[in-house]
Structure 1
Amino acid sequence: MHRIDGQGATSNNKFTEGNPATGTPATEVTADWLNAIQEEIISVLGAAGINMNKAVNNQLLAAITTLIAGGGVAVTAAGVSIADAGDYLSGGDVEAALQQLAQKVYAGTLSASQIRRSVVSVSGASQQTEAAHAESVVQVSHTAAATYTVRPDSTLNLPVGTAIEIVQAGVGKVSIVAGSGVNPIKKHSAFNAATMGQEAVVVLYKVAANTWRLGGMLEAV
């Protein structure tokens, strides 16, 4: 691609109509500039997998729309294996998976059943928030009371909106504790910040910097 540089172009490579009164010529439209423009447009069609058709005048628009939706070949990671986590990840390579996912997001057809949480199992009396716990189910198993400490943003800055599901997988209740620098955990005053018993599930939500809300199957005061 290049700016027009034919006879009569301005010093900053812009077009001019010229001025017959002063003898200033109009800008010459050169073949190399026209060919460059043509090939730039055709390359967009090719990236979207669209064949040129002389009778169709909206192919550039169709190509751009296709690439935005993920239907072209803008993502080039073919052959890189991934784990299949749903029908939108079928095919076994990153490029195909991302294109299928993008098409569903663009069309608004991505369903909740196609988004799966990871399950993290931990054991022991003392646990804390980890990056791997974000948007996951954390199963805490211990024979006695256990604590799950929410770390401050200074040591683990999870995004606002992050949710962590905590399951009391063992007989020991799990208490949710605010670490140093974290605001007191927000919850209803009728409940303690602890699971009510084995198999109980509680959910932590980060609502602001160093601020978390807790709800679910909590132990009554």
Structure 2
Amino acid sequence: MRLHVADHPLIAHKLTILRDKKTPSATFRQLVDELVTLLAYEATRHVSVTDVAISTPVAPTVGRKMAEPRPIVVPVLRAGLGMLEGMTRLLPTAEVGFLGMKRDEDTLQVETYANRLPDDLTDRECFVLDPMLATGHTMVAAVDYLFQRGARDVTCVCLLAAPEGLAELEKFVGDRADVTVVVAAVDERLNEKSYIVPGLGDAGDRLYGIVD
């Protein structure tokens, strides 16, 4: 498993505003969109391309275009949906699938309640979107689901990660699969409620305006 922390002044600036509990939902959504586009640039650094012959107004040349099969972007519902537009802005030809997963707050076990993905993902490059990599249980379930269906490699795009979540995912992946995690920051730890510290709270609630 590879970890890439996108260390950029614009990312740090936007993340700081996201963390602030006074930031309203409308601003939060806009910043998530902008942040994901910046993270998508790093996440797609090694996306598969193929050579293509074209003619410019001046001369023939050889360029590159996205290779087949097309990559697939997989937001984990519900919070991952707020990251979708930022990702597809850089991958407009990608296919989009959805995984609905929720964590039982008592047992921390992950339940899948929705699946809108092809049954066969053989040789596909997959980009999983989930704002928070906290315990790692949801991401492990999503990655396992994709590789069981033949995905070639998986890139997990998250705003924040906790060391515990990264360790859980790395333990699951081992040397068996090609997985990359791209994040804006790795935070200190999880608290007793499995929230990332200092974190930014519940990303889904803040995206959609449901707050305490």
TM norm structure 1: 0.23
Greater helix content: 2
Larger Rg: 1
TM norm structure 2: 0.24
